[in-house]
Amino acid sequence: MLSSHSNDRRSGGLTVDAKTYLTYAIENAGLSSIDRDVYVDFYLDDSFVRRLGRWEGMAAGGTGSNATWDELDATVRIAPGPHAVRLVIDPTNVVHESDETDNVFEAVFSWGVDAPPRPPDPAPARLPPEPTPYVPLKLPNLKPFTLYGWDAPLTARPGGSSEKGRDLPLLTTEDAIISFTFENASPVGPGSPFEAKVYLDGRLVDTSGFESRASTVGGWYWTSDVKIPAGEVSAGTHTVAFVIDSDDRVEESDESDNVFSRTFDWFADSPQAPLPVSHSSPELRQMLAPLMESLIFETETVAWSARNGVDWLPAILQVAEAGYYLATGRSIRDERLAVEFLPRAAYERATFDSCMRRAVELTRPEYMDRSQMCTELIDKNSGLKTRSDGMVKLFVDIDDTPVGTLNTLFHELGHALQDFMNPDLTEAYESPHVKALHEAQAQTFEAVVWRRIEDFLDADLRSYPDVPSYAKRLEWRFDQRLDDAADDDEHAVGYLLMWLNAVLDPQDMGLLEEMSAAGRLSWESSLAVYEYLVSIGPNETAAWVDQLIRRDDLAELVRQYRDIARARLTPGLHPDQEAHPDIFDAAILSP
């Protein structure tokens, strides 16, 4: 970029009567790091002017920081009018590249006379999604509601089952239990008792009374069970419905959402229960094939590729299913889980709306606080785990490479598995300690899955060269994590907890000895650490976190882990063996 102003964000406004500022940057867009100096030469009208910059090597996926040169007018005399500018990267061709055709930038710029124009206003920063305007509700709003763990607001199961909220096969020879749930999606409670009716194929089978409740933040919900005796329903498909406030005693802000219906099948004989999804070793190898054959070589983003007709998402989901199954013995398809992949703008909108869910129940100050919190949330991450419609839902930003997107999905699956294994920790008040523990769990799970895949394929996906650029990247990552942890960023504190737990080993798992001997933990040990972290109860979290991070020898413990991580860089690594840059943290910074 060339401009007459040092802080411009775009080219233009050049004049021979003012200083010219050249701002430039380069990147290593390949998958192999550069272990020698990289230079940039500047030409004006085909004449060599200056060797501008030198980078002491560059890590794969690395971008050289912006550099500005303001000595052009002191080096050459520029006449008014157009001039050709050329930047040549690696002019002596000392770096062997996969593509040597994109090392030159050429453009024509025109210089005028007199004072430069006033610089244009900088481009506005990208604004977060706007919440819908706050409209205070002055009336209650009773509506169907799916509790977490339920299949729907209205479910049916045999009378002998205790799995309330789950749809299970119904037999004509057994009692059936119809369960339904509804909420008050308003800060204003119903002013009087009311009723709800249940219908089977249009026939009234139950009327239940409910007491009024004053609503609070988070809303109130009601639930009820209705028994359909054995022998009253013939084999086949039948419709069940419930009607809230069936006698219309409660004046509501929305009277259109008080009815909910579903169809259920009754059987004369027990149907065969579906078997859990399983995969054989050959199937798993086939499912992982896209990872080794294409994903680890891709540097463009999933969103960019999609715009150009290449859909990476089926392969990403396939690899994720294989990795999750190898690490847990469970299939993603058997979990109460939904995954949604979204480009950045849509991701921000979806995660913001998810965060603002049920905001109609809030007072105006609470609404504004929630909006601010949700705005800060979307700036921090590229993946989000939440609960919605009775299940866990994952949002994943696809403005990343396929491997980066896959890694984000592994991270969010770590959050989801924690919810399945220890839902109390999800439902606990999310203090900074709890949030940091959540991140330590998910970051550990990333390492579990990658290491399990490596072990299964007998492949190496975690090697990075011991060159200055990667040594700098590692040190920068550590410094960044520590600085962010000092600012209570939960992701950074989560990393700190991972390191300290591995070095101090409060459960006496032999973690430090294993890292000292093998360089890192095996996938089995990493899984044991993950399961330990997930087992920590919400009432134990604060004490567990404090015992790790509030120590006089914290600096020495971090230095000890720095040395362990630094030793993972491989001297003399062949460029073809270098791991994808987007899993650097999972490979190098995870215990």
Query: Would you state the pLDDT for residue 215?
Result: 52
Where do we find the tokens 């990289």? 38
- Distance between terminal CA atoms of the chain? 42
Query: Would you state the pLDDT for residue 556?
Result: 93
Separation of alpha carbons 384 and 485, rounded Å: 20
Query: Does 404 score more than 90 pLDDT?
Result: yes
Classify 355 as helix, strand or coil: helix
Q: What mean pLDDT comes out for the span 438-453?
A: 97
Where do we find the tokens 């994590």? 481
Query: Would you state the pLDDT for residue 218?
Result: 43
pLDDT tens profile 146-193: 999 999 999 999 998 999 999 999 999 999 999 999 998 888 888 889
pLDDT tens profile 305-328: 999 999 999 999 999 999 999 999
Closest CA relative to residue 141, chosen from 260, 251, 224: 251
Query: Does 535 score more than 80 pLDDT?
Result: yes
Handedness of CA 329, 333, 335, 338 (dihedral sign): positive
Closest CA relative to residue 44, chosen from 22, 29, 15, 65: 22
111's enclosing H/E stretch is: strand 104-111
Yes or no: say if 438 and 384 are a contact pair by the CB < 8 Å rule. Answer: no
2's enclosing H/E stretch is: strand 2-3
Query: Would you state the pLDDT for residue 217?
Result: 41
pLDDT tens profile 459-483: 999 899 998 888 888 999 999 999 9
Yes or no: say if 573 and 469 are a contact pair by the CB < 8 Å rule. Answer: no
